[in-house]
Amino acid sequence: MALANGSLIVARRTESNPPFISSFIGDQISIKLPAQLRPPHLKRKNNRGVRINVTEAVHSAEPFNAVKKVEKEFSSTEKKEGLQAKYWSLNSWRNKVALQQPNYPDLERLAEVEKTLADMPPLVFAGEARSLEEKLADAALGKAFLLQGGDCAESFKEFNAVNIRDTFRVLLQMGAVLMFGGQMPVVKVGRMAGQFAKPRSEDTEMVNGTELPSYRGDIINADLPTLEARVPDPTLMVRAYDQAAATLNLLRAFATGGFAAMQRVTQWNLDFAANSEQGDKYRELAHRVDEALGFMAACGLTPEHPVMTTTEFYTSHECLLLPYEQAFTRIDSTTGQWYDCSAHMLWIGERTRQLDGAHIEFLRGVANPLGVKVSDKMKPEDLVTLCETLNPDNKPGRLTVIVRMGAAKLREKLPALVRAVRQAGCMVTWVSDPMHGNTIKAPGSGTKTRPFDAILEEVKAFFDVHEQEGTHAGGVHLEMTGQDVTECVGGGINLSYEDLSSRYHTHCDPRLNASQALELSFIIAERLRKRRLDGATDSFLHNLAAQISNVC
């Protein structure tokens, strides 16, 4: 785990440990600098190394201060062409172009906040991130399915235990539906406890006839229609951290305290979905699960068994605000690798995935499982390069490709991407984001919305392409909430454009409500069931053919 007392022990050299850091002995680091990197006062003929004292034991919850000191020693001399491109450091992203970053007017205050955050305890542990990576590897191989969902953007105003509970509850219900249909583990990852920042197309926006700086999420500025509220404030990062910590505390309690027990999940009924078609389907499924639980209890696996009372739940958010992410990037004492301890999983957005950009530079050095959003603009060769950059060891579970195109463009563009990645031998987990490619403006009002039918069509197209290409549809990534909102039109509850204004609460993009999310999970579960049965049939026919061949 990430919180181990004592001095740092590095078991092996990693990408985050440049080759000039040769060993750790007691409270000293042995450094071997290449001749061209040695400052004049450190140049020696024998190059036996330089000893630099570590002022304190390096705790895994603290930034790697020792390495920072070493970097300071040689950074002024490491200017030769090609040297900086080879090595990664915690600050190397600052030498790249960083898009979608706020223009803080008070840089001294920003530096103070970054230092404050760097001294804060981590939000997650490295061991948890490694556990998630293993499960995502199963999803890449078709042995598990990723369910990733939550708010478009978390807000300070709507932060309360009820909202967290309801979203967590719907994700558990969806997970139960998918698990039953696919007969495979469902990896549950929330867009929670850190999804505060949002990229924007323009630096300014018109609000009530006045041009104002764009609202970029509560971690950066406020959404109030005043110039003062829109000025980026670095202290909001501290408030976001506090809220993320409180959210995680509640999620951990829900996941392990009995709230997620399977028998409870099957008994839940969201009031506003109770009289709908998906509510009836869920009750039918719950009855079948209850029968299965009764059978397992008869076999000795009682409801009190930890397997039946707990669940594993992970958090994720877009890696967008780089000063915040750097502050929570810590060295893991068990592996010597860097982990961004603000979330278990991070993804990089469509607007910030430039190969020579700051976001790619930052993420290539952290060991968390990563996601990358991919639209129809992505070229196959660029995706392969991106895979090789972010996952040079080609480790299953390390990289998730999150496809967001719209159904028509997905059928046209995704096959070439899948083939290119497969031919290059890159291991990725393919996931569908059916939300972002289907945003429209409602006729008349101009309100942003997403038609449920379009979302569903993209999910179907995603499964179709992977079936045709012989690859695995590994999961879905949804913007959704446990609240009874009216932001996406259609679905079994048949929300109309006129209904949008009744409970339209999003701070950014429209979300599926609980009823729509549950309906979508049943449709996906049926597709997983079909894939499972088709696979079983193929396996049976293959074995039968082999037996006939042996007889002949």
Residues, the chain = 552
For residue 328, which of 313, 344, 314 has the smallest C-alpha distance?
344
- Residue 552 counted as an annotated binding residue: no
From CA 446, how far away is CA 440, in angstroms rounded? 9
- Residue 436 counted as an annotated binding residue: yes
- Residue 373 counted as an annotated binding residue: yes
3-state secondary structure of 53: strand
- Residue 326: both structure tokens together: 């750097």
Distances 403 to 7, 184, 384, 409 between C-alpha atoms, Å: 42, 22, 14, 11
- Residue 464 counted as an annotated binding residue: no
From CA 188, how far away is CA 193, in angstroms rounded? 14
- Residue 466 counted as an annotated binding residue: no
Write the CB contacts of 13 (distance below 8 Å, at least 6 apart in sequence): 19, 336
Q: What are phi and psi of 162, to 5 degrees?
A: -65, -45
- Residue 166 counted as an annotated binding residue: no
End-to-end CA distance of the chain: 56
3-state secondary structure of 386: helix
Q: What is the helix (H) or strand (E) element at residue 21, kind and residue range?
A: strand 21-25
Residue 525 CA from chain centroid, whole number:
22
3-state secondary structure of 476: strand
- Residue 509 counted as an annotated binding residue: yes
- Residue 125: both structure tokens together: 């542990």
> Binding site for Mn(2+): which residues?
152, 436, 479, 509
> Binding site: which residues?
152, 191, 350-351, 373, 404, 436, 479, 509
> Binding site for phosphoenolpyruvate: which residues?
191, 350-351, 373, 404
